């Protein structure tokens, strides 16, 4: 059986889900027998080199770069999985969804207590090289179709392992209670 | 303010179940209900502030902030939109110098949307400080604002515009028109006040109920529950104190028959209540009437006192020892859900209009936990005629399962909107011919909570066994864009009017509106249509009729006008969500950094 | 003494006290009917609808139904279960439920029901409503983002004078639960704790308290809600 090709990305996330992935520990050696990684922070490949079987997305979309990455993943991956609360529902970054963007930016860059006063006036960062901030944080499925969702903050390593095995082998995921958590 | 609050509360004996009256009276004096006012009311009644707040904030007409010396409540219903509301809105806003939802900078004019005010045959219409203005035009709107600014009273602005019939009665003095286009034999027919009451006292209470049952009178509010059975339950329920309510809260957009009946034949309604009291063993009747009809209050009070003077109310009715029946009037304060009988009872007890769980039914434990009958205005009229003319006469009218007549409120795209009293069994086509409707795209039968039907169903008949209806027909012409102009308006209406208690109704009315807007914007997917259908099944598990029917505008148009939805659905690559618009999503950011 | 009646749960005949609330009677018979707005000892409201069962084939909420002789109840059908899951999903989409940062996570009834139904993502649009966090009260914190408007606090919490501390404000999807500034004055720590405990989610918190049970030992970390009962 040819190895399945996996790609991963962290959008507006904290890389905690990727860390939890690594927490499958020695099972990484079993995994490597089953899959090959394409674009992913694990191997530092920045570009897709081929069509992939499985895309794992951590984080929601908080800026336009996230959106482009997510759309790119959707185009290149047969199956796309939202991994963790941020990808599923925005997660902690979405705390700002109830505050207008202008207010958030002003607090962060102009008037907030942690903004240092200096010789030059404070500005909201804007440079063609910087991604543009979206009006709110979007869960991934509000932008592209997501095939599966793995809850948790982060999803437990055992859940990630079970899910990967299920995806690679085509078996049904049993969703054991011990690893089905939102925190 | 110092004296108003204690004085009003004293007038109602410090009774917290009279909170609606207390709030209405205090607001009439003070203009709005400030934090301080609410705290004072709570303290005087010795109840928590939050308990006052929960009632105040439930009702649309209670103001927590000033709404202007003159408050314009402009009807926001579909029919008002059909008849040029948008231009009237612009005229009001330009003249007042503020948008709807705001008060003009000088504090003179407040502009507010309101749900249907029961004037669908003379739209656009507005309430300005309890005075009804009908058939508004942009020019007139500007004139009104200018006049108010110049110090004229609302009455002066109404001038000598007076409607027909009792609308011209000095105590009504309204420009409202009845538009009674067709009189039937049950409601709008000869009526001798007191004749039925004199007939009733020759019968025992159970004989009265037997007559009503023999005539198979069914509730005219829409649900069609057998009236005699309701009375019998209440009569047999244990307890000395029982109540008769007349439900005149008609809030279903497009319905205005109760307004016309109460204008022309209030005695008929009150007599029906007294008969119900006789049959059930109740001494107190309460007319629960929507706030929008407060312009009738002096007139209705006069009718009641005339009836007392003529021994048709009060002690010793028609001279019969032990036949005592009083009627008081309870006003609502703007909440559609209060048309639901248990919500109406809650409201009359001074609370939020949240429907109760059943059982117990109101006939067992209703107003103040006493056995209570709630009947529709028209139902009570038909009872009077059954007593006068006998069950056989009544049963000769109508169809197999629907006896008697039905008063229809007809509005929308037709030549002669107004009131039509017909025997049950008329087809929609018959009615369309009668009202001068041509090029009809759809008919909304029974208001938003009813059904939107297409021409292929116009041969259906109005009857409990076919198209059951509380009596409103909104005619929708070919020229209307059904989804944005009608369905979306109704969806918003239900979202606004949900009481918020049951989870499905509270959340799905809003979510359905969002999905509908998405479809209308051309960003809907086939999944969205499936969702809307699936949600209607969830809504059926809500507690009350409002919640169960709140998605009907969408569900019935999905069924009968599927093509209108399909043509707006994006067929494309289903891997991408068409509702997401990156350009729109970065607009706030672009604005925030512009010029920096 | 109470009188006893026989009634049927999912085809089996059981004995119950006459007039007992159906959810309680079923529990006593070892049958789990999920609830959210219901709380033992306070008047039922039938607001969340999640306990909807079929009584003689017709839907009714089990919290507001009283057991009578011959009552025939179906507690679980595929349609009922998918309805219950929908209620949980709606509540997650309707508010701002950020489980990872919530003090009640692990002991939250809404979350526990989501676990029970293995809700990975709501099939309803997230509303991200703009709601407040109220922190003015010396002992209580009210996070409206998490409130599911079950009214348990409204119905269940009274000050020593018997006055309510909480009440609904507004209507429809704008409803909000208000704390009374007067009746909630000088409440005891015990009452504040009671208010926190009666809340099925993390909307009412005691100030200065939270995250005091380690992950793994919270109410529903290992034991699913209703696990002690057959379902």
User: What residues have CB less than 8 Å from B291, skipping those under 6 apart?
Assistant: B24, B59, B61, B331, B332, B333, B334
The radius of gyration computed from the CA coordinates of chain C, to the nearest angstrom, equals 18
Cβ contact (<8 Å) for A143 and B588? no
Tokens of B595: 């010029």
Q: What is the mean pLDDT of residues B370-377?
A: 98
Task: Give the 3-state secondary structure of residue C43.
Answer: coil
- Final residue of a domain: which of C76, C110, C136? C76
Domain membership flag for residue C215 = no
What is the model's pLDDT at position A112?
87
Span B53-75, pLDDT tens digits:
999 999 999 999 999 999 999 99
Do residue C56 and residue C100 come from a single domain? no
What is the model's pLDDT at position B81?
98
CATH architecture of the domain formed by B488-566: Up-down Bundle (1.20)
Let me know if domain B184-395 sits in CATH 3.90.800.10: no
Write the CATH number for C187: 3.30.70.20
- Distance CA(A10)–CA(B576), nearest Å, equals 19
Cβ contact (<8 Å) for C171 and B538? no
Write the CATH number for A166: 3.40.50.700
Q: What is the mean pLDDT of residues B532-540?
A: 96
Q: Which residue from B231, B446, B244 is spatially nearest to B325, judged by alpha carbons? A: B244
- Final residue of a domain: which of C52, C76, C100? C76
Cβ contact (<8 Å) for B577 and A141? yes
ipTM given for this complex: 0.96
Closest residue in C to A146 (Cα–Cα): C121
Report the gap between the CA of C98 and the closest CA in chain A (Å).
6
Span A132-176, pLDDT tens digits:
999 999 999 999 999 999 999 999 999 999 999 999 999 999 999
* Chain A residues closer than 8 Å to B576 by CB: 71, 74, 143-145
Do residue C135 and residue C25 come from a single domain? no
Span B168-195, pLDDT tens digits:
999 999 999 999 999 999 999 999 999 9
Looking at residue C165, what DSSP letter applies?
S
**Out of B50, B335, B504, whose CB is closest to C90?**
B504
Do residue C68 and residue C93 come from a single domain? no
Q: Does C171 touch chain B (CB under 8 A)?
A: yes
Do residue C105 and residue C154 come from a single domain? yes
Q: Which residue from B182, B167, B383 is spatially nearest to B260, judged by alpha carbons? A: B167
Q: Is the pLDDT of residue B88 over 80?
A: yes
User: Phi, psi (5° rounding) for residue C196?
Assistant: -65, -40
Do residue C65 and residue C117 come from a single domain? no
What is the model's pLDDT at position B3?
92
Mutate to test the interface with B, among C171, C184, C185, C200 (most CBs of B within 10 A): C171
Residue A29 domain boundaries: 4-96+135-179
Q: What is the mean pLDDT of residues B376-386?
A: 97
* Chain C residues closer than 8 Å to B53 by CB: 167, 169, 178
* Chain A residues closer than 8 Å to B589 by CB: 101, 105, 132-135
- Distance CA(B496)–CA(B189), nearest Å, equals 38
**Out of B577, B586, B592, whose CB is closest to A105?**
B592
Do residue C89 and residue C163 come from a single domain? yes
Mean pLDDT by 10 residues, chain C (231 residues): 92 96 96 96 95 96 96 97 98 97 96 98 96 96 97 97 97 97 95 97 93 94 89 57
Q: Does A141 touch chain C (CB under 8 A)?
A: yes
What is the model's pLDDT at position B286?
98
What is the model's pLDDT at position C213?
94
* Chain A residues closer than 8 Å to B575 by CB: 74-75, 144-145
* Chain B residues closer than 8 Å to C125 by CB: 511, 514-515
pLDDT band at A116; cut points 50, 70, 90: confident
Q: What is the mean pLDDT of residues B461-486?
A: 94
Q: Does B94 touch chain A (CB under 8 A)?
A: no
Domain membership flag for residue C89 = yes
Q: What is the mean pLDDT of residues B224-248?
A: 97
Name beta bridge partners: A54.
A6, A79
Under a CB-based contact definition with an 8 Å cutoff, are residues B381 and B186 in contact?
A: yes
- Final residue of a domain: which of C76, C95, C128? C76
**Out of A89, A150, A177, whose CB is closest to C126?**
A89
User: Phi, psi (5° rounding) for residue B211?
Assistant: -65, -45
- Distance CA(C175)–CA(B353), nearest Å, equals 13
Cβ contact (<8 Å) for B49 and C180? yes
B319 exposed, middle or buried (CB, 10 Å; 0-12, 13-18, 19+)?
exposed
User: What residues have CB less than 8 Å from B105, skipping those under 6 apart?
Assistant: B97, B98
Domain membership flag for residue A64 = yes
Domain membership flag for residue C121 = yes
- Measured N-to-C along each axis, helices B488-497 and B503-520 cross at an angle, to the nearest 10 degrees, of 160
Q: Per the structure, how many domains does chain A have?
A: 1
* Chain B residues closer than 8 Å to A101 by CB: 588-589, 592
What is the model's pLDDT at position A160?
98
Higher pLDDT, C154 or A116: C154
What is the model's pLDDT at position B470?
82
Q: Is the pLDDT of residue A49 over 60?
A: yes
Q: Is the pLDDT of residue B198 over 80?
A: yes
- Distance CA(A22)–CA(A33), nearest Å, equals 16
The radius of gyration computed from the CA coordinates of chain A, to the nearest angstrom, equals 18
Report the gap between the CA of A124 and the closest CA in chain B (Å).
6
Span B1-55, pLDDT tens digits:
579 999 999 999 999 999 999 999 999 999 999 999 999 999 999 999 999 999 9
Do residue C70 and residue C117 come from a single domain? no
Do residue C71 and residue C150 come from a single domain? no
Cβ contact (<8 Å) for A90 and C126? yes
Q: Is the pLDDT of residue B439 over 80?
A: yes
Closest residue in C to A84 (Cα–Cα): C120
Do residue C90 and residue C141 come from a single domain? yes
Q: Which residue from C151, A26, C31 is spatially nearest to B500, judged by alpha carbons? A: C151
B450-484 as b/e: b if 16+ CB within 10 A? bbbbbeebbebbbbbebbbbbbbbbbbeeebebbe
What is the model's pLDDT at position B224?
87
Mean pLDDT of chain B: 96
Span B546-582, pLDDT tens digits:
999 999 999 999 999 999 999 999 778 889 999 999 9
What is the model's pLDDT at position B1?
55
Q: What is the mean pLDDT of residues B346-365?
A: 96
Do residue C89 and residue C63 come from a single domain? no
Cβ contact (<8 Å) for C171 and B499? yes
Residue C12 domain boundaries: 4-76
Q: Per the structure, how many domains does chain C have?
A: 2
Span B138-155, pLDDT tens digits:
999 999 999 999 999 999
Under a CB-based contact definition with an 8 Å cutoff, are residues B459 and B429 in contact?
A: yes
Domain membership flag for residue C62 = yes
Q: Does C182 touch chain A (CB under 8 A)?
A: no
Q: Is the pLDDT of residue B264 over 60?
A: yes
What is the model's pLDDT at position C231?
57
Span B394-405, pLDDT tens digits:
999 999 999 999
Question: Hey, what CATH topology would domain B405-480 get?
Answer: Ubiquitin-like (UB roll) (3.10.20)
What is the model's pLDDT at position B468?
85
CA of residue B215 relative to chain centroid, distance: 27
Write the CATH number for C25: 3.10.20.740
Do residue C127 and residue C49 come from a single domain? no
Q: Does A64 touch chain B (CB under 8 A)?
A: yes
Percent of chain A with pLDDT over 70: 98
* Chain A residues closer than 8 Å to C120 by CB: 88, 148-151
Cβ contact (<8 Å) for B585 and A71? no
Do residue C51 and residue C93 come from a single domain? no
User: What is the 3-class SS of B293-346, one letter each residue?
Assistant: HHHHHHHHHHHHHHHHHCCCCECCHHHCCCCCEEEEEEECCCCHHHHCHHHHHH
Under a CB-based contact definition with an 8 Å cutoff, are residues B167 and B175 in contact?
A: yes
**Out of C45, C167, C171, whose CB is closest to B50?**
C167
CATH node for B70-161: 3.40.30.10
* Chain C residues closer than 8 Å to A180 by CB: 115, 118
What residues 80-139 of chain C have any CB closer than 8 A to a CB of chain A?
92, 96-102, 105-106, 111, 114-115, 118, 120-122, 126, 128-131
- Distance CA(B172)–CA(B300), nearest Å, equals 9
Span A82-98, pLDDT tens digits:
999 999 999 999 999 99
Interface A–B counts its CB contacts (< 8 A) at 57
Cβ contact (<8 Å) for C171 and B51? no
Domain membership flag for residue C112 = yes
Higher pLDDT, B437 or B224: B437
Tokens of B420: 């039509």
Q: Does A112 touch chain B (CB under 8 A)?
A: no
Domain membership flag for residue A117 = no
Report the gap between the CA of A128 and the closest CA in chain C (Å).
30
What is the model's pLDDT at position A119?
65
């Amino acid at each position: 059986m040819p190895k399945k090709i996996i790609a991963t990305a962290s959008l507006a996330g904290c890389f905690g889900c990727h860390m939890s992935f690594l927490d499958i520990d020695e099972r990484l050696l079993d995994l490597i027998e089953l899959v090959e990684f394409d674009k992913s922070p694990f191997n530092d490949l920045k570009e897709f080199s081929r069509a992939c079987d499985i895309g794992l997305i951590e984080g929601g979309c908080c800026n336009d770069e996230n959106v482009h990455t997510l759309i790119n993943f959707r185009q290149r991956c047969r199956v796309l999985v939202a991994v963790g609360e941020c990808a599923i529902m925005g997660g902690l970054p979405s705390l700002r969804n109830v505050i207008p963007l202008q207010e958030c930016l002003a607090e962060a860059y102009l008037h907030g207590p942690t903004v240092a006063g200096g010789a030059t006036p404070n500005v909201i960062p804007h440079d063609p090289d910087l991604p543009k901030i979206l009006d709110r944080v979007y869960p991934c499925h509000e932008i592209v179709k997501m095939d599966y969702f793995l809850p948790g903050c982060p999803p437990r390593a055992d859940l990630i392992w079970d899910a990967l095995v299920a995806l690679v082998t085509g078996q049904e995921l049993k969703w054991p209670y011990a690893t089905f958590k939102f925190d | 303010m110092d004296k108003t609050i204690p004085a009003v509360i004293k007038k109602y004996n410090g009774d917290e179940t009279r909170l609606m009256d207390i709030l209405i009276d205090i607001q009439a004096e003070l203009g709005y209900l400030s934090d301080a006012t609410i705290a004072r009311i709570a303290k005087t009644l010795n109840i928590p502030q939050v308990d006052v707040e929960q009632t105040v904030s439930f009702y649309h007409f209670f103001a927590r902030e000033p709404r202007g010396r003159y408050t314009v409540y402009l009807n926001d219903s579909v029919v008002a939109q059909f008849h040029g509301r948008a231009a009237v809105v612009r005229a009001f806003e330009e003249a007042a110098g503020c948008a709807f939802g705001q008060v003009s900078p000088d504090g003179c004019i407040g502009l507010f949307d309101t749900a249907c005010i029961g004037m669908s045959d003379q739209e656009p219409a507005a309430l300005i400080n309890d005075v009804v203005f009908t058939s508004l035009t942009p020019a007139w709107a500007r004139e009104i604002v200018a006049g108010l600014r110049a110090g004229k009273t609302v009455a002066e602005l109404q001038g000598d515009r007076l409607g027909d019939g009792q609308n011209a009665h000095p105590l009504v003095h309204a420009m409202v028109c009845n538009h009674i286009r067709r009189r039937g034999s049950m409601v709008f027919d000869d009526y001798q006040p007191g004749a039925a009451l004199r007939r009733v006292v020759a019968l025992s209470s159970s004989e009265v109920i037997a007559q009503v049952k023999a005539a198979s009178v069914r509730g005219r509010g829409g649900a069609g529950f057998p009236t005699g059975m309701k009375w019998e339950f209440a009569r047999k329920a244990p307890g000395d104190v029982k109540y008769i309510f007349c439900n005149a809260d008609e809030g279903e957009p497009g319905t205005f028959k109760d307004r016309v009946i109460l204008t022309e034949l209030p005695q008929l309604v009150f007599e029906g209540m007294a008969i119900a009291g006789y049959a059930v063993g109740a001494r107190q009747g309460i007319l629960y009437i929507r706030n929008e009809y407060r312009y009738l209050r002096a007139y209705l009070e006069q009718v009641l006192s005339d009836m007392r003077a003529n021994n048709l109310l009060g002690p010793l009715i028609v001279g019969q020892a032990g036949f005592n029946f009083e009627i008081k009037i309870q006003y609502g304060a703007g909440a559609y859900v209060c048309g639901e009988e248990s919500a109406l009872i809650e409201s009359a007890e001074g609370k939020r209009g949240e429907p109760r769980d059943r059982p117990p039914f109101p006939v067992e434990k209703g107003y103040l936990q006493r056995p209570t009958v709630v009947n529709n205005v028209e139902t009570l009229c038909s009872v009077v005629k059954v007593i006068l003319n006998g069950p056989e006469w009544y049963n000769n009218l109508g169809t197999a399962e629907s006896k008697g007549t039905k008063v229809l409120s007809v509005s929308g795209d037709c030549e002669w909107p107004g009131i039509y009293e017909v025997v049950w069994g008329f087809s929609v086509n018959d009615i369309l011919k009668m009202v001068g409707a041509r090029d009809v795209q759809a008919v909304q039968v029974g208001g938003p909570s009813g059904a939107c039907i297409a021409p292929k169903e116009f041969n259906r008949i109005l009857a409990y066994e076919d198209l059951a209806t509380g009596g409103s027909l909104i005619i929708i012409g070919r020229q209307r864009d059904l989804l944005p102009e009608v369905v979306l308006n109704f969806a918003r209406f239900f979202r606004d009017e949900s009481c918020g208690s049951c989870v499905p109704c509270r959340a799905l009315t809003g979510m359905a509106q969002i999905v509908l807007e998405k479809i209308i914007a051309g960003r809907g997917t086939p999944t969205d249509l499936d969702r809307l259908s699936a949600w209607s099944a969830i809504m059926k598990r809500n507690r009350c009729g409002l919640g169960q029917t709140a998605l009907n505008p969408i569900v019935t148009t999905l069924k009968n006008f599927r093509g209108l939805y399909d043509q707006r659905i994006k067929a494309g690559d289903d891997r991408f969500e068409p509702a997401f618009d990156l350009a729109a999503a970065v607009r706030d950011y672009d604005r925030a950094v512009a010029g920096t | 003494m109470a009188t006893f009646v026989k009634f049927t749960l999912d085809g089996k005949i059981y004995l119950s006290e006459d007039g007992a609330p159906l959810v309680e009677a079923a529990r006593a018979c070892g049958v789990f009917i999920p609830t959210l707005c219901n709380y033992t000892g306070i008047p039922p409201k039938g607001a969340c609808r999640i306990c909807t069962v079929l009584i003689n084939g017709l839907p009714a909420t089990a919290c507001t139904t009283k057991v009578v002789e011959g009552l025939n109840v179906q507690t679980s059908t595929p349609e009922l279960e998918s309805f219950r899951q929908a209620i949980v999903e709606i509540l997650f989409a309707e508010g701002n439920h950020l489980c990872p940062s919530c003090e009640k996570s692990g002991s939250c009834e809404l979350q526990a029901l989501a676990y029970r139904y293995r809700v990975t993502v709501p099939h309803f649009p997230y509303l991200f409503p703009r709601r407040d966090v109220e922190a003015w009260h010396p002992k209580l914190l009210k996070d409206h983002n998490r409130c599911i408007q079950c009214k348990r606090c409204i119905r269940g919490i009274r000050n020593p004078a018997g006055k309510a501390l909480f009440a609904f404000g507004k209507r429809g999807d704008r409803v909000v639960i208000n704390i009374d500034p007067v009746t909630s004055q000088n409440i005891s720590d015990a009452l504040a704790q009671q208010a926190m405990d009666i809340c099925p989610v993390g909307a009412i918190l005691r100030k200065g308290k939270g995250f005091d049970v380690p992950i793994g030992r919270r109410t529903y970390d290992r034991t699913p809600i209703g696990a002690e009962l057959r379902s």
